[in-house]
Amino acid sequence: MSTRRVVLTTSVDERGAEYLDALREAGLEPERIDAHVVDLPLADIGGVVLAGGIDVDPATYGAPGTPFIGPTEPERDLFEALLLKTARDEGIPTLCICRGLQLANAAFGGTLIDDVPHALGAKATVPHSVEGPDGKVERGLLDAHLVRIDPDTLLERIVGTRVLVTGSRHHQAVDRCAPDLQIVAKTDDGIVEALEARFPSPFWLAVQWHPESTRTLDNGASRKLFAAFADAVRG
């Protein structure tokens, strides 16, 4: 087991059980934190993970509110933005998931689509959130949600394929990519599914889907993401 401290950021009312389980499975000892943390010493932190959650506040990327935005947590946006920038400056391995990808793009100067179905309209050909008969959002794999990964990228090297079936449960997405980041995967309708860093980092990856929920469903691809992050933490 790694003795280096790994922090998982969530909303104040979220426990992050699936994320914590995935990180422990990869041999790490994660600690959940949120925006209520007053003083976070980074000297002993070996890795940062941003979890999914509620919408990113449009003010975070300099946009007005819209009717499509649901509940937000501005304090979390600010907290995570500062944490991301410090992790970048200190060379701390970083993994961002779903909302984490969106927040990272906003924190580094990019913008977001406020609502994918509204933005795509008739061009919407890929399901990015599906409700089951019980009204709950599907948390498993979606056969129609194919992520196409660019060659010669960290993500391709980790999962070992250029086409990956994933889950999906989001309605915000990357619009303009931040200058510090680069797009490395999309779905066929053009929605950004993964970002990597342009700046030097031992590990920096953001994915739009939820690998913590599909670890037993995708022939090991999700586990490979957490394992690669864990290797960077230990390294």
Active site residues per annotation: 98, 210, 212
The count of other CB atoms within 10 Å of the CB of residue 82 is 12
Would you say 48 and 5 are in contact if contact means Cβ atoms under 8 Å apart? no
Q: Kindly report the number of other CB atoms within 10 A of residue 110's CB atom.
A: 20
Beta-strand relationship, 45-50 and 163-165: unpaired
DSSP letter at 216 equals T
Q: In what order do the strands lie in the sheet with 163-165?
A: 30-33, 5-9, 45-50, 94-97, 204-207, 192-197, 181-186, 146-149, 163-165
CA separation for the pair 212, 47 (Å, rounded): 16
